[in-house]
Amino acid sequence: MKLVLMRLLADVETSILPGDMSIEDILKLVLNILVYGLGAAAVLGVIIAGIMYMTARDNEAQVAKAKTRLFEVVIGLIAWAVMFAVLNWLVPGGVSL
């Protein structure tokens, strides 16, 4: 019984990634996850800034906070674009999504 169980456990695949993935494929997967995460974070930041701006009414401090948040989202997107351009310049053949 124990031998049969050990043979069954030996055939179990423990990795969530296919065995034939190269390091390049793994890096592309990680880069895609980061890109989609950045896009989701940027959209969420713009939505939050818009809600803050719409609900500010006469509160100038909240309007300033909303504008600052929107400005920070734009700075983050620009920083990502610069990082992506530098990666394309450093990596031979470029980085493709």
User: Strand (E) positions, the chain?
Assistant: none
Q: What's the length of the chain?
A: 97
Q: In degrees to the nearest 10, what's the CA dihedral of 64, 66, 68, 69?
A: 160
Per-residue pLDDT of the chain (97 residues; tens, 9 = 90+): 666 666 666 666 666 777 788 887 888 888 889 889 999 999 999 999 999 999 999 899 999 999 999 999 999 999 999 988 888 888 777 777 6
pTM of the model: 0.71
Contact criterion met (CB below 8 Å) for 87 and 95 = yes
